[in-house]
Amino acid sequence: MEDGFAASRLFSQGYSYTYDDVIFLPHYIDFPTDAVSLSTSLSRNIRLSIPCVASPMDTVSEAYMAAAMAALGGIAIVHSNCTSAQQASIIRHAKSLHIPIAPSVAFASPQDVLPAAPQGRYVFVTESGTLPSKLVGYVDCENLKGEEVKIFDHMRDCKSVESVPWNYDLGKIEAILEEKKSDFVVLERDGEVVNVLIKEDLERLKGYPKLGAGTVGADGEWMVGAALGTRESDKERLEHVVKAGANVLVLDSSQGNSIYQIEMIKYIKKTYPQLDVIGGNVVTMSQAQNLIQAGVDALRVGMGSGSICTTQEVCAVGRGQATAVYKVSSIAAQHGVPVIADGGISNSGHIVKALVLGASTVMMGSFLAGSTEAPGAYEYKNGQRVKKYRGMGSLEAMTKGSDQRYLGDTAKLKIAQGVVGAVADKGSVLKFVPYTMQAVKQGFQDLGASSLPMAHDLLRSGTLRLEVRTGAAQVEGGIHGAEKGTGLAPFFGKFKSMRTVSKEGDSLFMEYKILEKSTNKFHQGNILGEGGFGCVYKAQFDDGSYAAVKKLNCTSQDAEKEFENEVDLLCRFKHSNIISLLGYSSENETRFIVYELMQNGSLETQLHGPSHGSSLTWHRRMKIALDTARGLEYLHEHCSPPVIHRDLKSSNILLDSDFNAKLSDFGLAVSDAAQNKNNLKLSGTLGYVAPEYLLDGKLTDKSDVYAFGVVLLELLLGRKPVEKLAPAQCQSIVTWAMPQLTDRSKLPNIVDPVIRNTMDLKHLYQVAAVAVLCVQPEPSYRPLITDVLHSLIPLVPMELGGTLRLTTQPPALAPAPAAADP
């Protein structure tokens, strides 16, 4: 009995297959996912912990990408689309980034002009305007008046700047920031600044998945690769990058089977025999054989398969990537030469296919472009935050210098073999690459291979079988009949129900009698508020402590599910802006959730209750917005899997005695993965529900961002999310406010009278702009909550958790009376 085809038969039919054309059949599993090892060889003498290589493209691989990839256990190849001195500087910089995080502060030279709306509070001034370079000073943008100014005129000296050696570890830097009460610390090497870190950067790093074994050289520094061409002038570049510490060399050519590359391989192996050389690109066995005989230590496979490469269309030359990887790997394995699958990678399934078909590593361009570590500044295109991404065969890149990769002549007409585009913001590779690798491990487990060598053996022996997929099969195998979520969605598992009821052995389980006594038998006078399935009561225990007790009538299946979901999630959450679970209980069909008592009740009560927001000053409102954004960022960015609140509203934002805000009521919350897999019932509160969710049931983290925008409008305008105009007619705050929010002459007149004329107009305009972006009808136009968070931090005074330095003493904040709603 035999299913499918052996690879040797499938790839000898005369067809050129891509990754999407073929599918592996599952094999026998006798090991857990954690037992899968992705350790592999980049080249003859270099080992990696993960099979990931960042492509030598000028919109992908520079210093921050190189450091981050090495920290993850992979490697990056620094591009050569610059002068040899610049490339050497990038390599040295990457090796100096002991803490592999891209800074969130800006850099400039003394001659630069500061824009009217700089990104972030600080701009650090170096001699060159970039890193690494000597630090000249810095500019604190907080007290500038929102107009273009010369940096030199506002630059402060470096006397008060805290600086530490480049190789200080995270713990030491955190201790210095705490001890010195400083906002930032400068890392230096050989008299030059190599990085500047602020507190938020360190918190961000701690929120990423734990890093494994990094790719470190004998000198204890990150291993970094360097790309170079095959011209005579590249021999001089070779000297520069070797002196800078390059650990491996990549001959960067779209067609590697040339006399020029063969001669360069021989020259490098003779001049620097200790260095591994990666040749390519090739797609046939005969091409590979020529370069192997010349002495290469690894081969790059791929021609025209990149997402923005057009070589196959323009030059009519190339090969389907799945076929190319299999064929070249077959000959390379006989000589012990590892293969790098270069191009065509857009998801974890492609990585699995490339590796099982014979590759030892995969080289990624578009997959990593748009990340925090990729070169270039973010910009907004149609409301979406993007970074530029271009093929090295595009006219734009060749004009800058990459024409030698395509064997071009600088003095002659250039033919484009690539295009220029933009890719959406992906966040940090330190976050999404580990999730991708976990998905790859799951793929290997399904194939019954616990390592790359085992997968290769199973393929060559014919044990692993493949089939060709029809177009309809490819559609069926993808996401269909539902909203296509993020590229990470398939990697995340779903929450498993805790089945929490009647778990008397659990330390969080509380006896019903204790709750009954502490609430005076749930007396009406102790009611703090009401929800969909019951009331919330104030409880006082025998030791004098207080709590809030949510009583749920769980006669319906929906109520039972919400109870289990909320307890399950609150047991997992650990964040200062998420309500703390104290316990839970069960009595017949009634369930109880016990959480900390919030003395100032809900934001809804404070804004729309009897006090009408009188206790909420401008700065308090900004702090509440910042706290809420921090809570949402924790759910979206730091929970694994990510969580969508689904019912964010002012009544679910609770305020303690100091007006610190915490998110509550997680009965409707879902994981990012679960929302793509389960048929969720449409739920939420009118006025806060995002239009795409209301109309089509499409739920993403941007749905929470929309609800946050509505809350921000409530804080700004003092209006309810929905106002009744007549018995059968209502108007949402978004519909009413949008035409006026973008008109600076009208905006001050619609602000809540309680705070009108109490804030800096520049800050008012900034908050209004953030709110407008958050409530955009098209979800892709809305910002990530992380971007919202960083926009709000400079608007909140330092004593309230932001970075705003108040030039004058603010009015005394009178203590507010405790409200009734928790």
Tell me which residues are annotated as active site: 309, 405
Of the candidates 291, 234, 226, the residue with the CA atom closest to the CA atom of residue 258? 291
- Would you say 220 is a known binding-site residue? no
- Would you say 389 is a known binding-site residue? yes
- Would you say 252 is a known binding-site residue? yes
- Would you say 551 is a known binding-site residue? yes
- Would you say 309 is a known binding-site residue? yes
Could you tell me which residues come within 8 angstroms of residue 700 by beta carbon, excluding any fewer than 6 positions away?
Answer: 483, 485, 486, 644, 672, 675, 779
Phi–psi pair at 233, nearest 5 degrees: -65, -20
- DSSP category for residue 490: G
Distance CA 602, CA 530 (A): 12
Distance CA 251, CA 272 (A): 14
State the maximum Cα–Cα separation within the chain, in Å, rounded to a whole number.
90
Tokens 């389907």 locate to 320
Rounded to the nearest angstrom, the gap between the alpha carbon of residue 519 and the centroid of all alpha carbons in its chain is 44
Q: State the amino acid at position 306 in one-letter form.
A: G
- Would you say 615 is a known binding-site residue? no
- Would you say 158 is a known binding-site residue? no
**Cis peptide leading into 56, omega within 30 of 0?**
no
- Would you say 738 is a known binding-site residue? no
> Where would I find the beta strands (DSSP E) of 462-574?
466-468, 527-530, 535-540, 546-553
- Would you say 390 is a known binding-site residue? yes
Radius of gyration of the chain (CA): 29
Distance CA 814, CA 275 (A): 69
By the 8 A CB rule, do 733 and 713 touch? yes
Task: Give me the helix-helix angle, 785-792 and 761-774, nearest 10°.
Answer: 170
- Would you say 457 is a known binding-site residue? no
- Would you say 303 is a known binding-site residue? yes
By the 8 A CB rule, do 301 and 339 touch? yes
Strand pairing report for 75-78 and 52-54 = parallel
Question: How much of the chain is helix, strand and coil, in % rounded to 5?
Answer: 35, 20, 45
- Would you say 285 is a known binding-site residue? no
Distance CA 466, CA 17 (A): 12
- Would you say 580 is a known binding-site residue? no
- Would you say 181 is a known binding-site residue? no
On the CB side of 699, how many CA atoms lie within 13 Å of its CA?
Answer: 25
- Would you say 304 is a known binding-site residue? yes
Other C-beta atoms closer than 10 Å to the C-beta of 532 total 15
- Would you say 74 is a known binding-site residue? no
By the 8 A CB rule, do 142 and 183 touch? no
- DSSP-derived 3-state class of residue 182: coil
- Would you say 191 is a known binding-site residue? no
Could you tell me which residues come within 8 angstroms of residue 588 by beta carbon, excluding any fewer than 6 positions away?
Answer: none
- Would you say 364 is a known binding-site residue? no
- Would you say 510 is a known binding-site residue? no
- Would you say 487 is a known binding-site residue? no
- Would you say 392 is a known binding-site residue? yes
By the 8 A CB rule, do 249 and 223 touch? no
Distance CA 715, CA 622 (A): 8
Positions at the binding site for NAD(+): 252-254, 302-304
Annotated binding site: 252-254, 302-304, 306-307, 309, 342-344, 365-366, 389-393, 417, 551
Binding-site annotation: residue ranges for K(+): 304, 306, 309
| Binding-site residue ranges for ATP | 551
Residue list for the binding site for IMP: 307, 342-344, 365-366, 389-393, 417
